[in-house]
Amino acid sequence: MSKRKTVPIPLRGLLIMAVAILLSITAGAESRSAAMKRADRELRQGNYELAERIYRQLVEHNADDNDARLGLSFALIKRAQLQEAFQEAARVVAVDPLNARAHTLMGTALLRSGEFRISVEALKTGIKFNAKEALAWAGLANTYFWIDRARNVTGVFLSQVLPFADETALGLFGKLETEVYRGL
């Protein structure tokens, strides 16, 4: 008759606690993933305010979540909160200087703010780090162009409205871009 070894009670408790911790970490990762997917879906559908809230919650939960921070930056650009959008992307560049998307978002925020010269450098840097990163540029009379190489999409919005960054023109450009991506 063989003797069966038993695990002492304190060790069994530690094992159960370790399994519980692993399960909670896994569940947390799944909820983060689901939240990111939901925020991305809201962006595609043009629900920028809701996407912003979701990304903010993710960043509040984990300040090191650069993907959520960049999603927040993009949502802020869509809502014309350009200074904060720039700051969120700049936080990512501070910890990941080679992040193409962060540089591109900084350039986009600068471009939409009317800072042409500075925006060009940030956009060039983004493309240098990742040739598939989207490219955007604008003209003085509120003309806007973009190329999204990753999704094979190009768009042009033309107007003859001054001053640059006219609120109505930016709103119409934002709606055009939203509808283009919604149709994909």
pLDDT digit string (tens) for 78-123?
898 999 999 999 999 999 999 999 999 999 899 888 887 888 888 8
Mean pLDDT across the chain, nearest whole number? 84
The predicted pLDDT at position 43 comes to: 87
Inside any domain, residue 141: no
What is the pairing mode between strands 143-148 and 135-139? Answer: antiparallel
Q: Give CA–CA dist 177/56, Å, rounded.
A: 23
Inside any domain, residue 37: yes
- Could you tell me the CATH number of the domain that includes residue 69? 1.25.40.10
Inside any domain, residue 29: yes
DSSP, res 135: E
The predicted pLDDT at position 10 comes to: 60
Inside any domain, residue 183: no
The predicted pLDDT at position 147 comes to: 82
Do the Cβ atoms of 30 and 56 come closer than 8 Å? no
Q: Which two tokens stand for residue 12?
A: 């069994």
The predicted pLDDT at position 62 comes to: 96
**pTM of model > 0.75:** no
The predicted pLDDT at position 14 comes to: 58
Q: Which of 140, 141, 132, 144 is nearest to 108 (CA)?
A: 144
The predicted pLDDT at position 15 comes to: 58
Q: Which helix (H) or strand (E) holds 155?
A: strand 153-157
Inside any domain, residue 137: no
Inside any domain, residue 181: no
Identify the domain containing residue 26 by its residue range: 9-130
Pick out the chain residues at pLDDT < 70. 1-30, 134-136
Length of the chain counted residue by residue: 184
Q: Give CA–CA dist 111/16, Å, rounded.
A: 54
Do the Cβ atoms of 148 and 131 come closer than 8 Å? no
Q: Give CA–CA dist 103/122, Å, rounded.
A: 5
Inside any domain, residue 122: yes
The predicted pLDDT at position 124 comes to: 83
Alpha helix segments (H runs only) across the chain: 9-44, 48-61, 66-78, 82-95, 100-112, 116-129, 167-182
- Total tally of structural domains belonging to the chain: 1
Inside any domain, residue 144: no
The predicted pLDDT at position 183 comes to: 87
The predicted pLDDT at position 129 comes to: 83
Asked whether the bond before 8 is cis by omega within 30 degrees of 0, the reply is no
The predicted pLDDT at position 148 comes to: 79
